[in-house]
Every structure is written in structure tokens, then in C-alpha cells.
Amino acid sequence: MTKIAVVGTGYVGLVSGAILSDFGHTVTCVDINEEKIQDLINGKIPIYEPGLESIVQKNTYYKRLSFTTDIKSAVEDNEVIFIAVGTPAAEDGSADLQYVLQVAKNIATYMNGYKVIVNKSTVPVGTGQKVKEMIQTTLAEREADFSFDVVSNPEFLREGSAVRDFTHPDRVVVGAESEKALEIMKEVYRVLYLNETPLVETDLETSEMIKYAANAYLAMKITFINEVANVCEKVGADVQKVAKAMGQDGRISPKFLNSGPGYGGSCFPKDTIALARIAEENGETISLIETTITANEKQKQKMVDKIINGLGDVDGKTLCILGVTFKPNTDDMRDAPALVILPALVKLGAKLKIYDPEGRKEGTWRLKEIEDSIVWCETSYEAIENTDATVILTEWNEFRNLDFDKVRQIGGSNNFFDLRNIYNKKSMIEKGFNYYGVGV
């Protein structure tokens, strides 16, 4: 059993902390957001992540998991301290490290013995060294002399399936500079290690680079199939069959080959831009990633054009929008395509009736600038009722089996924009719909 503190209790920190406690460690989750910590102490989960609540409740009950805003005792009482705070894009696109470095400073301020400081946030190459310097400088100011190790342990979980991803990772990457830190990390992940999860042991810099390279590659793969989809539309080919056959090639794999409105979320947009900046700062260009970023922006605009072309004009029309989160099974809307597509439609005169199973809270403030043109609905059918088109933006399961007889009865439109390709074009046309997918 290892005593662990996780600083930053967001999508990554809360999942990591809860599951590490489920592995049998004693974990203290720390955050500066008092409301979040108070909710967690009261058993309320601040995010929507399937399967997480019961793990949090169980481990809180068995006193393996606790929540606090008191960073001082969290640092003093634990040997392994994870940093899992946000690294949003700064104005120039590079990763903003202020939160990571603030936590490093806090750790050094309260350090009372050997600590392993584990960076789980996605950070540019060289950040591990910056964290080390921050700790050394702060310790020197305190005239204190404690040994410590900085470790890089990037996280690959996906929101919406985070519990499964954390408990069944394809690999665990650990960048460490000492044998002692590596052994402690092996102990932290021993449960996975026993299940034969591969452990990639490397240096700090390589570990930091692995995360950016992996995310940028996945973003590029999505963008590739989106661009192929756009060509398919022009030449009369079916991108879904193209993607399926491509994916059957073992060298390619079928994952991340679903065409749609462009990638979004809290990682790909900022991580691709940050990688391009890292390259630039080091006198290199990653032109594939630069192009990916531009093509992804264009893809969102193309969805607006698709709707305009399909309807002729959206001025004065009411559109039903199904889904606003960047993917299903999350309430996260950071950099969701909806944040570009919906304001663009409203600017052209559209009114929106929106339903998202978990996205309303986020959507209400993130779409505040167009709130006068939005009516939030409680069900798909309420949103569909008396509209001029239905637009599927996020592929929540409950949108996959709409009752089209009911859609007709309640005045739903024949215009159906399926931006996630969850329906079959042929059968939708047979049902009498003007069906628009992406690349089909």
C-alpha cells in the first residue's frame, strides 16, 4: 500500500485518485476548488463519468479515499504526489504551465521528507526539468534539503470510458531518472503490472513526448478520414465502407476512422497546437500536424455549409440540435465542434432547440452569447417537435433509435443532418428523409 496525494481533482485527477484507491492505496485528492471538494466529501460527483460514482463512494466508505483543499497536510502525509491539474492552451497556443508550476511550488513549500512527484498532466517536453528546478529553488529559499524525484506518467484515458481505460490501459508510461522512483511507481501500478499491462520505462523527456505524439497522431487519423469523407461525397463513394476496409488492414486498425464534424474535447485541440509550438520553438515543423489543425477548423465550417446548402437558408428556421458535448458519455464541452457550429448557425438567423443528456449545464454558460436563440429541451422528441431540421452533433446512444413515426407525428422535419453517420443513408431515404451524412 502506497500513500498517494493527487493534486487536481478534475476528469483525470478524480478518476486516477479513485481507481488508485480501489487498487488498495490510500489516496487523498486535493483541489483549490472548494465547492468541488465539498461536493465530493458529500458523495456528489462533480463530473459525468460512467461508473465513477460507485468507485468513489465505495473507497470513501472504506477510508482509502478522501478529499481536501489542504495541500499542506496532503504533501506532508504522502510520499507519492501526482500533479493532475489543467494545462490549457496559452494565448500563443503553447501549454500554459502556471497551474503545474504552482503545484510544484506548493509541494516544495510543504515537503518534509523524500517525495516522488509524478506529473500526470499533459506537459511539453522539458516540463519535468522545470518542475525539478521550481522545487529546488523553493527548497533553497526554505533552506531545506530533502531528496525527491520527478516522474512523468502521462494519462491516456478517454472521457466517457475513463474507468475502463484506467483499469485496462494498453500500456503505462513511466519516465523516471532514478531506480528508487521507478520501483515506487511499479508499486503504485502493481495491480496492472500483475495483469501484464506493459510498462514503458523511459526518461522524462521521452515520456513527455510520447503523450503529445500519440494524441497528435490520433487527431491526424480523425482528420484524415474526415478529408477522405469530403472527397467521398464529391465522387459518390461511401466513407464508412472505405474506413471499414482500411481498418481491416492490421497496419491501420479500425479505431479513430469515423468521419464527423471534426475533433474536439479537452485534449486533441490543445495538444496538437502545443506540439506544433514545441516543434517551432526547436527549429522544426511538424507539417502534418499544422495541416491537421487547419483542416479540423475547416471541417467544422463545412458542417455549417452542409446545413445551409441542404436547407437553402437557415434565416428564421428552427433547428433541432441533438448533442452538444464533444463526445457521448461525458458532460465535457471543451472545444466541442458545437461551440463553432451553433454560433455560426445563429449568426445566419437560425433558432435552436437543443437536447443533450448531460451537456445542458456546460452548454448553458458556454453558449451564453447566443442564449436568446436557444431553447433547451428535456428529451429528443421535445427538441425535434416543430422544427425545420434535425442535426445530430454527438452520437449519444439514445439518438441511435429514434421513433420516426413519432418524429413525423410531432412535426419533426424530413431534413436530417446526421453529422456522426449513426443512421443508414439508404433506409433513411426510403423512410422519406432528406438525409445528409458525412462522406456517405
Which residues are known to be catalytic?
A: 267
Say whether residue 157 binds ligand NAD (CB under 6 A): yes
Judged by CB under 6 A, which of 18, 182, 267, 278 binds ligand NAD? 267
Cell numbers standing for residue 207: 515520456
Nearer to ligand NAD by Cβ, of 111 and 344: the residue is: 111
Judged by CB under 6 A, which of 5, 11, 374, 407 binds ligand NAD? 11
Which 3 state secondary structure label does DSSP give 128? helix
Judged by CB under 6 A, which of 65, 103, 222, 392 binds ligand NAD? 103
Say whether residue 32 binds ligand NAD (CB under 6 A): yes
Nearer to ligand NAD by Cβ, of 26 and 87: the residue is: 87
Minimum CB separation of residue 71 from ligand NAD in Å reads 6
Say whether residue 13 binds ligand NAD (CB under 6 A): yes
> How long is the chain?
440
Say whether residue 122 binds ligand NAD (CB under 6 A): yes
Fill in the amino acid letter for 217. Answer: Y
Minimum CB separation of residue 13 from ligand NAD in Å reads 6
Which 3 state secondary structure label does DSSP give 437? coil
Say whether residue 28 binds ligand NAD (CB under 6 A): no
* Binding-site size, ligand NAD (CB under 6 A): 26
Q: How far is CA 287 from the centre of its chain?
A: 24
Say whether residue 227 binds ligand NAD (CB under 6 A): no
Question: Of residues 276-335, which lie at the interface with ligand NAD (CB under 6 A)?
Answer: none
Nearer to ligand NAD by Cβ, of 8 and 439: the residue is: 8
Judged by CB under 6 A, which of 5, 7, 286, 304 binds ligand NAD? 7
Separation of alpha carbons 75 and 30, rounded Å: 10
Nearer to ligand NAD by Cβ, of 2 and 28: the residue is: 28
The H or E element spanning position 392 is strand 389-392
Which 3 state secondary structure label does DSSP give 36? helix
Separation of alpha carbons 365 and 219, rounded Å: 27
Separation of alpha carbons 359 and 325, rounded Å: 6
Report yes or no: 55 and 20 within 8 Å, Cβ to Cβ. Answer: no
- Beta-bridged to residue 26, according to DSSP, are 3
Q: Identify the burial level of 54 via C-beta atoms within 10 angstroms of its C-beta, where 0-12 means exposed, 13-18 middle and 19 or more buried.
A: exposed
Cell numbers standing for residue 383: 427538441
Q: Which residue is nearest to ligand NAD (CB)?
A: 10
Nearer to ligand NAD by Cβ, of 194 and 365: the residue is: 365
Quote the DSSP letter at residue 89.
B
Q: Which residues bind ligand NAD (CB under 6 A)?
A: 7-13, 30-33, 36, 84-87, 99, 102-103, 121-122, 155, 157, 159, 266-267
